[in-house]
A and B are shown apart, each in its own frame.
Chain A
Amino acid sequence: MSNRSAKIYFDPYLFFSLFALSVLGLFFLYSASNADTSIVLKQSVYIFLGFAIMLLVSQADPDVFRRTSLVFIIFSVLLLGVTFLFGPEINGAQRWVRLGPFSFQSSELLKLALPIFLANFLFDKRLPIQPREIIISLVFIFIAFILVARQPDLGTGLIVALSGLFVLFLSGLSWSFIGGAFIALIIFSPLIWNVLLQPFQQQRIATLFNPESDPFGAGWNIIQSKIAIGSGGIFGKGFGEGSQTQLNFLPETKTDFIFSVIGEEFGFFGVVILLSIYFFVLMRCLYLALNARDRFCRLVIGGLTLTFAANLIINLCMVVGLLPVVGMPLPFISKGGSSLISLFFAFGIITSMGTHKKFLPQ
């Protein structure tokens, strides 16, 4: 206990790989924004802030997060409520909340709060977890999903739901339950398609399978993104030389489609390097999860890491044309303060839970 205050909780593997991602991201953003230095400068301020938050958060003992998990989720839900009541409407959706000079996407917080809350709820339950606990967890997940999805933000809603489901699965959800749920999902999928999905969402899914059916409408983004990536070839067209990016054929280059910029300008070679760094980060997190000091930490690290992975994979699959277009940034690289801050916050929690060790009682 005496040397506790002297120790700095810090994981060099995570820290430096995230640093590499962020710095590379600044270069990509410079090219993607047609050399707009003010955007890059703003982003670097967020990155600096993010690292500070990560370092700060990782110093806290995991028990702090466990004890405050209820407060945290209540605060997150309240923030969603504020967004719903006062948030400005942008492109037909209310996703942002203003705190003084800063705007914050309120659903980002729930992505962290929900897995921590569920981990706290489930970590001391005996295995296998009981139907009562499953149902309570599912109710929480469903409420969180609905809150975000009705903003409307289906993409983030699904990520929030997944963050909860990952924790539920990792804490020992029975396979028969999973199998049953999966069958139910298939049976009810027509119902989901017709009732839950908005027409524009249906359109996006339809477009995925046949983008050429509407090349100047819904298919434009997917077609241009594939052209950008494909025309990059093995070594890319060079930094700032991508015609799809620089001549604005590619949409949303600074946010959702920044991976296409990387593909166009740095080619397959650049893509492999970038994906390797991401994969290394995920492997390191898996290692930390497997070696965490207790069940709560394991569940939180697992849940947050897999949420991060899901976020990443959905973005990649969307950009390369394997999934329909949903609004989802590329973590650590896409422009956007809220997303960056919440990512660094999450990795701060992961570092905290992965580095704090406890004497195990025999």
Chain B
Amino acid sequence: MIFEERQIEKNNFSSRAIFLFVIVGVSFLAVLFQVFALQVSSYSSYELAALNNKNYAIPIQPLRGEIFDRKGHVIVRNEPTFDLITQPDLITQPESFLELIKPVIYLSEIEEAQYLKNFKEKAFVNKELVLKRNLTTEEIARFNVRSFNFKNVFIGKRHRRISDHPKVFAHVLGYTSRSNNQHDLSMDIPRSHWVDAELTYANGLIQGKTGLEETYNHHLSGTHGTRIYEINSRGRLVKTLEYYPPKKGLDLHTHLDIKAQISAANALGDRKGAVVAIDLQSGGINVLYSAPTYSINKLSNGMSVDEFQDLIQDADKPFFNRALQGRYPPASTIKPAIGMFGITNKLINWSEEIDDPGFFTLPENGRIYRGWKKGGHNNVNLQKALMVSSNTYFFKLAYQSDMKDLASYFSSLGFGSSVCRDCYDEDSVFVPSPEWKYKNFNVPWFTGDTVNIGVGQGYLVATPMQLAHYISILANKGNLPKPALVKVENQSLDSNKSQKINLSTSDWAKMHIALTAVIESDFGTARSIRNLKDFQVAGKSGTAELVSLDSKEAYLEVRDTELLRDHSIIIAFGPMPNPQYAVSVVIENGESGGAVAGPVAIEVLKSLLNE
């Protein structure tokens, strides 16, 4: 019996033990199945997850392309500069470290505070931290002698964006600055990694802010490189796994001419104004200058807040690009356009003369519109009217014109639209018309408004760029490639030449003769500049009135206030009879157009021709 009972007990135990071991076996299979699912079925996604854990890609900043003038001289380049760089993870006490290095390298309070502020974060992950930018050669020498004391510090090569003519080219080139939005720089590197970018520029991740630097930012920027680090779970960099070098941005070859630009700046001196010069064959802009100006070197490489505020608050508005954004009444320089309009619409012909008593009386209400010369110019035809700048002739011609037709004629000359292909922030201004006036002032158009426009006053305003474009069309007898700053490879001239104005060959010849007479004849209004050169120049000067006055005596009172004085304007082209360049000059409050703006235009033309 005992034996039987034992046997029952043993069998009972065996079945129960086997039952539990089957559960154990099933559990083993479950684990094995799960491991198989992880390691074999989902291997690729977990492999990727492990790589994402340990790989940390950071961008390497590329060099920007350089900018050249039309003769291949560099205008903006990348200049090597040296920064003092530390490795915070190797420095135990930042405060005592600073005390140690201060006798060697001068540090401002701001630099010290900035360093201590960022120290902890950079030390935790072993990343570099810049202590001082733009070391002087003296500082580099002092540090190199003592570098054995500072195992955790080294001098790193960076670059600065430098122009040898930082003020002369300020507006046209523009400046770079640290970019706030790095997102558009890269898709393949997570946005958060950009703070760790390997810098090529001392000023950090820079981007074109204005001028050509902005317009062609994409072209100049280049492609960032990538360094893939292995990091541990704390984010410390362990080693470099992969390295892809950055690609330098493309260079920019412009139509600008360093010599001519400098001559424009010198000729303008410390007066406010703008100069634009255009190559008639290519439409290339050789000179684009605005004064007063500022230094792009300072702006691109870190300017103090105070300096920047001073520039912004300067009453002369140095940031304002007068060449592209200044709105000036064209004054008498519009007269050739009015004349061409009259010829085209058969309102006048070249031989028809009118009497100029020195003023024009509006038939509707008897209002008097005065010329600049008391007593007038007697009998004048179109050619003489242009040469002596008869107001009466053009008051009368404008009076005969339909304003709508005249407005569309202005538009075909480029007024009211941006005429430059690649200028930064060009003001297109507007062409005044009855609709325009009603929309803006809620007042109908009067005939007197048209009469004023006949001499380039009243509602008509234009930028120096638009004036240069307009005189270039005249110089080129009706056609012109769209003006541009940057050369386009293999651009065929004809495809870009568009006929803007249709005039007969003899009409063009007469127009050029008339405009040459303005400067070259004994009676021309701009004859004072005749002897400044040894080639013939055609043009038209103008004096833009800021205050509408009835008599010369009244103006003498007004001119005591400098900012109310007339603007001096000239548009010119040469050498005649086969012009190559056209130029427009505006000098704010310069008075008398020909005598003041004229010499500037001549200097620029001389500089462009003397190549």
Decide: B49 and A230 in contact? CB cutoff 8 A. yes
A313 close to B27 (CB less than 8 A): yes
Encode contact with B along A256-272: 1 for CB under 8 Å, 0 otherwise.
Answer: 00000001000110011
Closest chain A residue to B54, Cβ basis? A243
- In Å, the complex CA distance between A286 and B43 comes to 35
Cβ contact within 8 Å between B8 and A226: no
Q: Specify which chain A residues have a CB less than 8 angstroms from the CB of B43 in the assembled complex.
A: 230-231, 233-234
Cβ contacts under 8 Å, B24 to chain A: 282, 306, 309, 313
Instruction: Report if B30 contacts A (CB, 8 A).
Output: yes
Contact sample, A vs B, 23 pairs, CB 8 Å cutoff: A126-B5, A127-B9, A169-B16, A170-B16, A224-B53, A227-B49, A227-B50, A228-B50, A229-B35, A230-B47, A244-B50, A247-B231, A247-B233, A248-B232, A248-B233, A249-B53, A271-B39, A286-B17, A289-B13, A290-B14, A309-B24, A316-B31, A321-B34
Known A-B contacts A230-B42, A243-B53, A248-B232; the reply to A302 vs B13 at CB < 8 A is yes
Contact residues, A341-362 vs B (CB, 8 A) = 362
CA distance A227 to B233 in the complex (A): 13
Are A234 and B39 touching (Cβ within 8 A)? yes
- The proximity string for B residues 7-33 relative to A, scoring 1 for CB distances below 8 Å and 0 otherwise, is 011101110111011001101101110
Which residue on chain B has the smallest CB distance to residue A269? B39
Contacts of A320 in B (CB 8 A): 31, 34-35, 38
How far apart sit A290 and B12, CA to CA, in the bound complex (Å)?
11
Contacts of A170 in B (CB 8 A): 13, 16-17, 20
Instruction: Indicate which residue in B9, B20, B53 contacts A169 across the interface (CB closer than 8 Å).
Output: B20
Instruction: Tell me whether A166 is interfacial, beta carbon within 8 Å.
Output: yes
Question: How long is the Cα–Cα vector from A232 to B42 in the complex, in angstroms?
Answer: 11
Shortest CB-to-CB span from A147 to chain B, Å, is: 25
Interface string of B397-429 (1 = CB under 8 A from A): 000000000000000000000000000000000
Instruction: Report yes or no: B34 in contact with A243, Cβ–Cβ below 8 A.
Output: no
CA distance A212 to B16 in the complex (A): 40
Contact mask for chain B residues 38-81; partner A; CB cutoff 8 A; 1 contact, 0 none: 11101101110111011000000000000000000000000000
B233 engages A249 (CB within 8 Å): yes
Chain B's closest residue to A298 (CB) is: B13
Residues of B within 8 A of A169 (CB): 16, 20
Check A322/B30 contact, CB under 8 A, given A230-B46, A243-B230, A289-B17: yes
- Specify which of B12, B46, B232 is in contact with A231 (CB 8 Å cutoff): B46
Q: Is B100 an interface residue (CB 8 A)?
A: no
Q: Which residue of chain A lies nearest to B13 when distances are taken between CB atoms in the complex?
A: A298
Partner of A271 from B10, B14, B32, B230 at Cβ < 8 Å: B32
Determine if B47 and A362 form an interchain contact, defined as CB atoms under 8 angstroms apart.
Answer: no
Residue of B nearest to A279 (CB): B28
Contact assessment for B53 and A268 in the assembled complex, using a CB-CB cutoff below 8 Å: no
Seed contacts A231-B43, A243-B53, A275-B32; 13 additional CB < 8 Å A-B pairs: A169-B16, A227-B50, A230-B39, A231-B49, A244-B53, A263-B38, A272-B32, A278-B28, A279-B25, A289-B13, A290-B13, A295-B13, A317-B27
Residue contact B36 to A268, C-beta cutoff 8 Å? yes
A215 to B12, CA, bound (A): 48
Choose from A234, A248, A306 the contact partner of B40 (Cβ within 8 Å). A234
Q: Give bound CA distance, A223 to B28, whole Å.
A: 21
- Closest Cβ neighbor of A320 among chain B residues: B34
Q: If A295-B9, A306-B24 touch, does A233 touch B47 (CB 8 Å cutoff)? A: yes
Asked if A317 meets B30 with Cβ closer than 8 Å, knowing A166-B20, A170-B17, the reply is: yes
Chain A residue with the shortest CB-CB distance to B47: A231
In the complex, the answer to whether A247 meets B49 with C-beta atoms within 8 Å is no
Judge if A152 is at the interface, Cβ distance under 8 Å.
no
Q: Which residue of B lies closest to A237 (CB)?
A: B50
Is A155 an interface residue when CB atoms closer than 8 A count as contact? no
Q: Are B39 and A267 in contact (CB under 8 A)?
A: yes
Q: Are B17 and A275 in contact (CB-based, < 8 A)? A: no
Say yes or no for B3: interface residue by CB 8 A criterion. yes
Rounded to whole angstroms, the CA-CA distance of A289 and B3 in the bound complex is 19
A336 interface residue per 8 A CB criterion: no
Contacts of A299 in B (CB 8 A): 13
CA distance A309 to B53 in the complex (A): 34
The closest CB in chain A to the CB of B46 belongs to A230
Q: Report if B234 contacts A (CB, 8 A).
A: yes
Most chain B CB within a 10 A radius of its CB, from A247, A267, A282, A286: A247
Q: Output the least CB separation between B235 and chain A (Å).
A: 10
Q: Is the CB of A313 within 8 A of B53?
A: no
Complex: chain A residue closest to B50, CB-CB: A231
| Interface contact A247-B39, CB-CB below 8 Å | no
Residues of B within 8 A of A234 (CB): 39-40, 43
Q: Determine the residue in chain B with the shortest Cβ distance to A315.
A: B31
- CB-CB nearest in chain B for A321: B34
Q: Is the CB of B13 within 8 A of A230?
A: no
Bound CA–CA A320/B35 (angstroms): 7
Q: Please give me the residue from chain A that is nearest to B43 by CB atom.
A: A233
Instruction: Report the minimum CB–CB distance from B572 to chain A (whole Å).
Output: 71
CB distance from A300 to the nearest CB of B (A): 12
| Residues in A neighbouring B47, C-beta threshold 8 A | 230-231, 233
Most buried by A among B6, B13, B25, B230: B13
Q: Does B54 lie within 8 Å of A249, measured CB to CB?
A: yes
Q: Inside 8 A of A290's CB, which chain B residues have their CB?
A: 13-14, 17
Nearest first, the 8 closest Cβ-Cβ pairs linking A and B are A230-B46, A231-B50, A230-B38, A247-B232, A248-B233, A268-B39, A320-B34, A316-B31
A278, A302, A320: which has the most chain B beta carbons within 10 Å?
A320
**For residue A272, which residue of chain B has the nearest CB?**
B32
List, in ascending order, chain A residues with CB within 8 A of B233's CB.
247-249
The reply to whether B32 and A127 form a contact with Cβ atoms under 8 Å apart is: no
The contact string, 1 if C-beta is below 8 Å from chain B, for chain A 233-255, is: 11000000001100111000000
A284 → chain B closest CB, angstroms: 12
Q: Is the CB of A322 within 8 A of B32?
A: no
The B-contacting residues of A in range 293-330, CB under 8 angstroms, are: 295, 298-299, 302, 306, 309, 313, 316-317, 320-322
The smallest C-beta distance from A192 to any residue of chain B, in angstroms, reads 22
For A166, list chain B residues within 8 Å (CB).
20
Cβ of B27: which chain A residues have Cβ within 8 Å of it? Answer: 313, 317
Provided the pairs A229-B39, A234-B39, A263-B35 are in contact, do residues A247 and B238 lie with their beta carbons within 8 angstroms? yes
Q: Which of B501-526 contact A (CB under 8 A)?
A: none
| A243 engages B50 (CB within 8 Å) | yes
Whether A263 contacts B39 by the Cβ 8 Å rule is yes
Query: Complex formed: what's the CA distance from A320 to B42 in Å?
Result: 13
Q: A249 vs B35: C-alpha distance in the bound complex, in angstroms?
A: 19
How near does chain B come to A47, taking the closest CB pair, in angstroms? Answer: 24
Q: How far is the CA of A250 from the CA of B38 in the complex (A)?
A: 16
**Which A residues lie within 8 Å of B18 (CB)?**
286
A263 to B484, CA, bound (A): 65
Q: A302 CA to B9 CA in the complex, in Å?
A: 14
Interchain CB contact (< 8 A) of A247 among B14, B32, B34, B54: B54
How far is it, in angstroms, between the C-alpha of A289 and the C-alpha of B31 when the chains are bound?
A: 25
Q: How far is the CA of A309 from the CA of B36 in the complex (A)?
A: 21
Nearest CB on B from A38, distance (A): 21
Q: How far is the CA of A244 from the CA of B55 in the complex (A)?
A: 11
Interfacial chain B residues near A302, Cβ < 8 Å: 13, 17, 20
Contacts of A231 in B (CB 8 A): 43, 46-47, 49-50
Residue contact A229 to B31, C-beta cutoff 8 Å:
no
Fill in one digit per residue for B239-252: 1 if any A CB lies within 8 Å of its CB, else 0. Answer: 00000000000000
Tell me the smallest distance from the CB of A13 to a CB of chain B, in Å. Answer: 16
0 or 1 for each of A157-174: is its CB under 8 Å from B? (1 = yes): 000000000100111100
Question: B34 and A322: CB pair below 8 A?
Answer: yes
Chain A, Cβ-Cβ closest to B2: A361
Contacts of A263 in B (CB 8 A): 35, 38-39
Which of B30, B50, B53 has the most C-beta atoms of chain A within 10 angstroms of its own C-beta? B50
* A residues less than 8 Å from B51 (CB atoms): 243
Compute how far the CA of A243 lies from the CA of B53 in the bound complex, rounded to whole angstroms: 9
Query: Separation in Å of the A232 CB from the closest CB of chain B?
Result: 6
B31 touches A268 (CB 8 A): no
Chain B residues lying within 8 Å of A278, measured Cβ to Cβ, are: 28
